[in-house]
Structure 1
Amino acid sequence: VAPWYGVAFSVLLYLSIGPLFATPRTATVSFEIGVVPFLGDVSESAKQISLAVFAAVFFGLSYWLSISPGKLVDRIGKILTPALLLAIAVLVLTAAAKPMGALQTPAEAYQAGAFTKGIIEGYGTMDALASLVFAIIVIDAIRSMGVTDTKHVLSLTTRAGLVAAGCLALVYIFIAYMGATSVAGLGMQENGASVLSKSAEFYFGLGGKVLLAVIVLLACLSTSVGLITACGEYFNRLMPQLSYHKWVVIFTLVSFGFANFGLKEIIKLSIPALMLLYPLTMAIIILAFLHPLFGGKRVVYITTMLATGVMALFDGWKTFESFMEMKSGFVSNLDNFFSANLPLYGSGLGWLLPAVVGFALGFAISKLAK
């Protein structure tokens, strides 16, 4: 699109999957699964203090490993990722074989438009945002193995992406099933971490809960180290006036600060930013796939991203106003207009049609300019 846009988008992307949202969540998810189930019936203030202490230790370890990670994270990842998938597989297959109860009636928000609602809820995973960053890591890893041919690198990257997407899809599907059948046994839970932990205890007792807690803790720790390291390296390249070490300190402290809001609040805080960034991310990913179709013409990127960006900015601001319990007349009027006239707007995908129109306009301009 433009050099300044690339920098601005990358900065927002790294901050979102880094110290503002994703990295703090690694600590809070670990806390919810690895600590909360063992606290018993404690007050909210005691739980908050426990979170602060846990987050301090968690990010202390993250900082130590991020300063000179070496091959430690790679080794942890090679062991923990299969172990985590195996543990979840055992849990969900057990839940499938011996469900706690029948499938429950969907919550009201999912009784109509479950597909689009699921897409919007999927924003919270940040998978698409992280994919742009981790794709670079995967490509670098492949090249470090001696693969230099561009087509071969693309082929291997595609295969890795398909395997990762397939595994994630299976995990999400089975966990969704487990959650839907667990209401009879566990009741409604506040978040997925609680469902996993309590389901592990329900089926395997204390041992299952401890095993899941340890695996998730270590998996989240390695993820935290990876995110802090990636952010530190990027911002060190962007602003070399500050050393990598100083960036790591900054991101560790900011992540610790945000982690103290707790998992539920972090998810809530992230929604306005995700409503802004996700449409832009999806648009750029789709354009990358369609790149050969329009010959990579810059005008197509500009018109598509501009149209998408206008709607994404509005959605992000509208969500921010809702979060802050504000309501301006201008935003309300536009909201009503889009609700009545823009397809899929009510489902949170109002950016889709403008993106298509922007693409068509850019494509037409590129053809006329020949």
Structure 2
Amino acid sequence: MNNRLSSLDILSLGLMTFAFFLGAGNIIFPPLAGAHAGAEMVPAMLGFLATAVGLPLLTLIAVAKAGGGISTMAKYLPASLATTLALSVYIIIGPSFATPRTGLVAYEIGVKPFIEQDYLASFSVVFFALVAWLSIKPGKLLDYVGKFITPLLVLLLLALAVAVFTAPLGELGVPNADYANDAFVKGFLEGYNTMDTFGALVFGMLIVNVLTSKGVTEKSYIYKYLIIAGCIAAAGLAFVYISLFYLGATSQVVAEGAKSGSDILTIYVFGMFEEQGAYALAAVVMMACLTTAVGLVSAMTAFLTKLKPNWNYTYLVLINCVVCALVTNVGLTQLISLSIPVLFAVYPVAIALIALTLMQEKLGNKGLSYKFVLTVALMFGVLDGLKVTGLDMHTFNFLPLFDKGLAWVLPTAVALAIALLAFKKAPCQATLSRS
């Protein structure tokens, strides 16, 4: 029997989805981008919102349409390639980059300003021990996050946003050279750092699992509730990003010399609310990072147990959290530097997969289309990724948009058009269609 969610449960599901997305990168990157954009805040912010809100929402729609996460979306690839693609995304969004980053940002903003010595190692153990405890009971995620932690988080963020818009600490600053010339593109690329599109690929399946645990089994209702949850999360994220962008854009005087988004945010909040504001900011960041880490660890563990059903869920959670705690000690700056080339290389593949999923009914030969389009996206994405490492890539300057870090856009669009217009159904597909 298919259960239906109450209005409160739907709202809680949306808030849970919002909380899963709102983590480390979502808090530290918008202020930094805003500070660099200054008076060019609007086009930069629109570019950022396209990557960090629009793409994740499209991803959740694609997940709902496919009826599952990245593995289901990639089902038209050979099984080994689909598994490799899915595992790569889970590793990026899991123990390699995104999950340890939640611990680092929680420490940098929530703990470090209030202590004199460095206790990152000890903090990482405590933080990921708590993440492990919350992740071991995934059926309770809706209760833990949606009905308790997130409403408090929303109230704290709302207070900060109201203060920033009603009494900013400065005027819009002067944009730096990159944002003065290509504000929208710079904002778009900066949105990569949030990893929200990858997050949607993994959170989408987690939300489906939560709905199933609540007795929602009919595909049409899962689709409906997932879309509603995605819209709630998108609205919340847009509100937070716009607020933090404006905070950063008006911070050039009060936070002069700040090198990171966490520094800008900490200085600005202290200047606005003094010590009480610093404590409130610490609470916001700690909760946001904790909920995101729980979502990421739960999603990756669910993926691994589906891949290998005989593996123990609890042990996998503990192993995941131990690895994350170790990687956390690399440091925030180093982790961000390592992640950027990987994101430039893999993000185009994720975007291409979303487009293919949304258009799959119009594709003739689905297997060939997926392999062709994703291969093109990966090839040109790797070129963009190598470029941001600092390698001499001037040989490829002839490629459209290569100088902007978007060499993948035109080739991937052309590949998708070829797949839609030129690829015919494979013989087995044509036979199935006639039967």
Select 2:422's aligned residue among 359, 365, 368: 365
Look up the match of 2:53.
none
Look up the match of 1:38.
114
Look up the match of 1:315.
384
Look up the match of 1:131.
200
Does 2:147 align with 1:89?
no
For residues 1-370 of structure 1, the aligned pairs below 5 Å read 1-39=77-115, 46-47=117-118, 50-68=119-137, 71=140, 74-240=143-309, 242-294=311-363, 297-320=366-389, 322=390, 327=391, 332=392, 335-340=393-398, 342-367=399-424
Tell me, what secondary structure is at the counterpart of 1:355? Answer: helix
**Alpha-carbon separation, structure 2, partners of 1:141 and 1:284:** 24
The runs of 5 or more residues in structure 2 that have no matched partner are 1-76, 431-435
**Which residue identity lines up with residue 410 of structure 2 in the other structure?**
L
Tell me, what secondary structure is at the counterpart of 1:185? Answer: coil
CA apart distance, 1:242: 4.3
**Which residue identity lines up with residue 267 of structure 2 in the other structure?**
K
1:171-203: CA deviations, max 9, x gaps? Answer: 111101111102212224232223233322222
**Alpha-carbon separation, structure 1, partners of 2:124 and 2:161:** 29
CA apart distance, 1:350: 0.8
Tell me, what secondary structure is at the counterpart of 1:120? Answer: helix
CA apart distance, 1:26: 1.0
**Alpha-carbon separation, structure 2, partners of 1:75 and 1:157:** 19
Asked if structure 1 preserves the Cα contact closer than 8 Å seen for 2:142 and 2:210, the reply is: no
**Corresponding residue pairs, total:** 351
Tell me, what secondary structure is at the counterpart of 2:270? Answer: helix
Asked if structure 2 preserves the Cα contact closer than 8 Å seen for 1:302 and 1:362, the reply is: no
CA apart distance, 1:353: 0.9
CA apart distance, 1:256: 1.1
CA apart distance, 1:239: 3.6
Tell me, what secondary structure is at the counterpart of 1:170? Answer: helix
Moved more, 7-16 or 51-60: 51-60
**Which residue identity lines up with residue 53 of structure 1 in the other structure?**
S
**Alpha-carbon separation, structure 2, partners of 1:251 and 1:73:** 21
1:46-83: CA deviations, max 9, x gaps? Answer: 43xx2122112212222333334552673234322232
**Alpha-carbon separation, structure 2, partners of 1:312 and 1:95:** 37
CA apart distance, 1:115: 1.0
**Alpha-carbon separation, structure 1, partners of 2:215 and 2:302:** 23
**Which residue identity lines up with residue 79 of structure 2 in the other structure?**
P
CA apart distance, 1:232: 2.0
CA apart distance, 1:22: 0.9
**Which residue identity lines up with residue 183 of structure 1 in the other structure?**
Q
Asked if structure 1 preserves the Cα contact closer than 8 Å seen for 2:203 and 2:296, the reply is: no
Give the 3 Å change call, closer, same or farther, for CA 9–56 of structure 1 in structure 2: same
1:4-26: CA deviations, max 9, x gaps? Answer: 12101111111111111111111
Moved more, 115-124 or 65-74: 65-74
**Which residue identity lines up with residue 354 of structure 1 in the other structure?**
P
CA apart distance, 1:207: 1.6
Look up the match of 2:64.
none
**Alpha-carbon separation, structure 1, partners of 2:94 and 2:395:** 35
1:268-298: CA deviations, max 9, x gaps? Answer: 1111221122111111112222223336722
CA apart distance, 1:131: 0.3
Give the 3 Å change call, closer, same or farther, for CA 127–36 of structure 1 in structure 2: same
**Which residue identity lines up with residue 136 of structure 1 in the other structure?**
M
Asked if structure 2 preserves the Cα contact closer than 8 Å seen for 1:77 and 1:219, the reply is: no
Per the normalisation by structure 1, the TM-score is: 0.87
CA apart distance, 1:360: 2.1
Moved more, 128-137 or 163-172: 163-172
Asked if structure 1 preserves the Cα contact closer than 8 Å seen for 2:352 and 2:377, the reply is: yes
Per the normalisation by structure 2, the TM-score is: 0.75
Tell me, what secondary structure is at the counterpart of 1:189? Answer: coil
Asked if structure 1 preserves the Cα contact closer than 8 Å seen for 2:153 and 2:287, the reply is: no
The runs of 5 or more residues in structure 1 that have no matched partner are none
Look up the match of 2:70.
none
Identity %: 37
Give the 3 Å change call, closer, same or farther, for CA 276–150 of structure 1 in structure 2: same
Give the 3 Å change call, closer, same or farther, for CA 169–72 of structure 1 in structure 2: closer
Give the 3 Å change call, closer, same or farther, for CA 244–101 of structure 1 in structure 2: same
Give the 3 Å change call, closer, same or farther, for CA 284–236 of structure 1 in structure 2: same
**Alpha-carbon separation, structure 1, partners of 2:151 and 2:179:** 32
